[in-house]
Structures are given as C-alpha cells and as structure tokens.
Amino acid sequence: MSAVINKAKSQYRRALGIEAGTILVLAFILFLCKGNIAVSFLAGGISSFVPHCVFVYWVFFRNSAKDRTKMTAFYWGEGGKWLVAIILMIVSFTLIPHFQFLVFFVGYFLALFLNIALPMFLSRKST
C-alpha cells in the first residue's frame, strides 16, 4: 500500500506544479492583452488551486496520530478545502477593484478542471 501512496504523492506533486504553471502563464498572457482582467482570472485560479493544495497536503503529506484512517483525513481535508475556498472567494469579491465575475469563474473552473484532469492524465501516462 505504501508504494501506491508514494506513487500518488509524486503524481500530485507533478500535477500541482503543472497546474500552478498553467494558471500563471495564462494570467500573464491575459495581463499582456488586457491588464485588469488578469487579476480576476488569477484570483479565480488561486481560489480553486490553493484549497486543492490544502486538501492534497492534508490527505497525502500530513502525518498525524489522530487520523487513524485515511477516510478521517479525507473528510478533514475536504472540510478544510471548502473553508479555504470560501474565504478566498470572499476576499476576492470584496478586495479586488474592477472585479470581473465572469473572468474569475473562468479561472476558477479551469483550475477545477485541471485539479481533476491532470492527476488522471499523469496516472494514465505513467502506466
């Protein structure tokens, strides 16, 4: 079982790196084209990417004696993911000047898609 978890850890490390790079490159391209919408896109991507990082850390990389089973870690990770996502959305909606909701949600859903697609793609590619 440990070999499977270690393989999943390395795949998630690669997936998170690729996702972060993709979000940053797209935000930079948007910044070059239309500067003010890049901030909304980046905020949407971050509002999805950072909670996913919290979840992956909690489930795979955190070692705790309290979490006797992986399902307990999974539930705590999912709860933390929702909490961080809600906080980041509230901060984005209230503090970003000239906020573009449509562009925010394009970045948010793109990051959600990458959260799902990249680990599947990397696991399929490695087998």
Res 1 pLDDT > 80: no
Number of compact structural domains in the chain: 1
Distance from C-alpha of 17 to C-alpha of 21, rounded to nearest angstrom: 6
Res 65 pLDDT > 60: no
**Residue of 16, 85, 20, 92 lying closest to 28 (CA atoms):** 20
Provide the pLDDT for residue 27.
Answer: 94
Provide the pLDDT for residue 59.
Answer: 83
Q: Please identify which residue in the block is written with the tokens 């084209």.
A: 33
Q: Which pLDDT band holds residue 11 (cuts at 50, 70, 90)?
A: confident
Provide the pLDDT for residue 122.
Answer: 84
Query: Residue 99 belongs to what domain range?
Result: 3-125
Q: Which pLDDT band holds residue 88 (cuts at 50, 70, 90)?
A: very high
Region 92-116 average pLDDT? 94
Torsion angles phi and psi, residue 12, rounded to 5 = -70, -35
- The CA-atom distances, in angstroms, between 55 and each of 61, 75, 95 are 10, 9, 25
Region 17-41 average pLDDT? 92
**Residue of 51, 56, 25 lying closest to 38 (CA atoms):** 25
Region 118-127 average pLDDT? 80
Provide the pLDDT for residue 110.
Answer: 96
Res 94 pLDDT > 80: yes
